[in-house]
Amino acid sequence: MPVTKFSTPEKYRYQNGFGSYHESEAVSGALPIGANSPQKPPFGLYAEKLSGTAFTAPRHENQQTWLYKILPSASHSAFNEREASSYNTNPEGHKLHQIPNQLRWDPFDMDETVDWVHSLKLVAGAGDPTMKSGLGIFIFAAGKSMEDNQAFYSADGDFLIVPQHGVLDIQTELGKILVRPNEICVIPRGVRYRVELPEGPVRGYILELYEGHFQLPELGPIGSNCLANARDFQAPVACFEEDTIGSYTILSKFNGHLFAASQTHTPFDVVAWHGLYYPYKYDLGRFSVIGSISFDHPDPSIFTVLSAPSPRVGTAIADFVIFPPRWLVGEDTFRPPWYHRNTMSEFMGLIGGEYDAKTGGGFKPAGASLHNIMSAHGPDSGTHEKASNAELKPMKVGEGSMAFMFESCLMVGVTEWGLKTCKKVQEDYNEESWTPLEAHFKIPEGVRRISNLVDGDVARGAIDIGKSVNGKGATGEMEKGQLPHYT
């Protein structure tokens, strides 16, 4: 059944559709008809435009949303830098280790002392949010809900949130979203929100996209359906608070630093909205897997849920890829991922279960791995041995498991926190995984070695082959170092 069975029931209503033009109102008649910014919007509301792309972006890329608020977002005090000496999530502000070694992390620790904002730890990244280029990869592990009078937004990029443990109850300006393990959530740049933890501590992964926005991958010869279907993405419906005399704090992540401003009205006062720029979530259990039904298996790009393309066609700043439960039926095929070196960087995480391409328990839920550009990797020795000798009958792999990958065309640097401070890097990852691989190469008796030299064995062999093909052999004189010419 293509739906995850969650232990925590859904509590909110949603609008369905990826990239759809949505509109929602929490009070009937709050949306203006036939105009975006009338002289007097309904019910004394303020019209405010939230722009996720330049006004002049091509129509198919343009992402804007009109908000109808009790008070505009501009009504706040000046922003002041906060925790300047300790809060910095900009990759450019960190010592990054660009290294070719294969890396794997043990599960990251819970931290019940911090809220959402302060739980964000930059593990790796590339680029610079000030130039709107690149990405950041984070671990979050929080134990406290944000304060009731706080809201947070990132001016740096879009957050793709992948929970591994616990439940996130997210109140955004445009409505509320409940996010559970095996769901993902995307909160666009600039959208203000508050995170509550209704069931205690949470932990998971975040990819912050500094450049562009996520979109569904092209399907090409697959056709019009499968992979992540547009109808399965869910956007919130309008839901607002009414408070114009309270005390509220707006926290801004701006170039990786934390700033704070105060205001006397709730930031969650959007009574109605319409547009293309909004948060959304997706149940990974609804992903419709494509695979081979004969021999070999396609590239792992067939598991792409969302993609953020670079200016080079077919190359992504970031792809979000999953490895869900699926059937394998390929004949005479090595079924796990083959050994490879990739021009893309691959950061993997495990939401739950056991990843089918690894044995021995080294890759655990809440852990991670990084195989950077051209760093060779593939199945460990145990997996190779098992798969090479398995009976190739139809089998389902990944039952009860969900692994994912953040893939990027960029060389990803690892922060000091990710490499050393967290103390989670497995120092023996390479030695345990691939050093035990044994050479099985053997030339059967009677099989002839073929020389690569133009004189000697190759020339003599060529003459023999020529005679056997046409019975005539070479014609004319052949100088030393030349291959014969045949008639």
pLDDT tens digits, residue range 307-362? 999 999 999 999 999 999 999 999 999 999 999 999 999 999 999 999 988 877 89
Most confident of 61-70, 385-394, 469-478: 61-70
d(CA 350, CA 363): 8
Task: Report, as an integer, the average pLDDT of 263-283.
Answer: 98
pLDDT digits (tens, 9 = 90+) for 30-52: 999 999 999 999 999 999 999 99
Are residues 344 and 385 part of one domain? yes
Is 373:342 a contact under the CB 8 Å cutoff?
A: yes
Are residues 420 and 340 part of one domain? yes
> Last residue of a domain, which of 405, 433, 461?
433
Instruction: Please say if 297 is a catalytic residue.
Output: yes
In a domain, 313, yes or no: yes
pLDDT at site 1: 57
Confidence tier at 473 by pLDDT (50, 70, 90): very low
d(CA 434, CA 55): 51
Are residues 454 and 387 part of one domain? no
In a domain, 140, yes or no: no
Judged by average pLDDT, the poorest of 132-146, 391-405, 452-466 is 452-466
Is 372:411 a contact under the CB 8 Å cutoff?
A: yes
Are residues 302 and 358 part of one domain? yes
pLDDT at site 3: 80
pLDDT at site 469: 43
Strands of the sheet containing 46-51, edge to edge, are 22-25, 270-275, 64-69, 46-51
Q: Is the pLDDT of residue 471 over 90?
A: no
Are residues 470 and 370 part of one domain? no
Tell me what percent of the residues of the chain surpass a pLDDT of 70: 93
* Sign of CA pseudo-dihedral 321, 107, 126, 116: positive
In a domain, 408, yes or no: yes
Are residues 297 and 366 part of one domain? yes
pLDDT at site 330: 92
Tally of domains in the chain: 2
Q: Is the pLDDT of residue 456 over 80?
A: no
d(CA 35, CA 51): 17
- Average pLDDT, whole number, for the chain? 93
Are residues 486 and 412 part of one domain? no
Residue 196 marked ligand-binding = no
Are residues 460 and 404 part of one domain? no
Residue 473 domain boundaries: 449-487
Q: For 199-256, where are the E strands, in sequence order?
A: 202-209, 233-236, 248-254
pLDDT digits (tens, 9 = 90+) for 283-302: 999 999 999 999 998 999 99
Task: Report, as an integer, the average pLDDT of 122-146.
Answer: 98
Task: Report, as an integer, the average pLDDT of 5-12.
Answer: 96
pLDDT at site 485: 47
Q: Is the pLDDT of residue 399 over 60?
A: yes
In a domain, 40, yes or no: no
Q: Is the pLDDT of residue 444 over 80?
A: yes
As a 3-state breakdown, the chain gives helix, strand, coil percent values, each rounded to 5, of: 10, 35, 55
Q: The whole model's pTM is what?
A: 0.92
In a domain, 376, yes or no: yes
Q: Is the pLDDT of residue 370 over 60?
A: yes
Are residues 417 and 479 part of one domain? no
pLDDT digits (tens, 9 = 90+) for 213-236: 999 999 999 999 999 999 999 999
d(CA 408, CA 307): 10
Residue 377 marked ligand-binding = yes
State the CATH number of the domain containing residue 394.
2.60.120.10
Radius of gyration of the chain (CA): 28
Dig out the tokens for 377 from the structure: 């990797």
Q: Which of 27, 103, 6 is nearest to 69 (CA)?
A: 27
Q: Which of 387, 2, 462, 483 is nearest to 232 (CA)?
A: 2
pLDDT at site 455: 79
Are residues 413 and 318 part of one domain? yes
Please identify which of the residues 76, 274, 297, 384 carries the catalytic annotation: 297
pLDDT digits (tens, 9 = 90+) for 231-262: 999 999 999 999 999 999 999 999 999 999 99
Are residues 419 and 295 part of one domain? yes
Q: How many CB atoms lie within 10 A of CB 247?
A: 10
In a domain, 132, yes or no: no
In a domain, 163, yes or no: no
Are residues 467 and 369 part of one domain? no
In a domain, 152, yes or no: no
d(CA 473, CA 487): 8
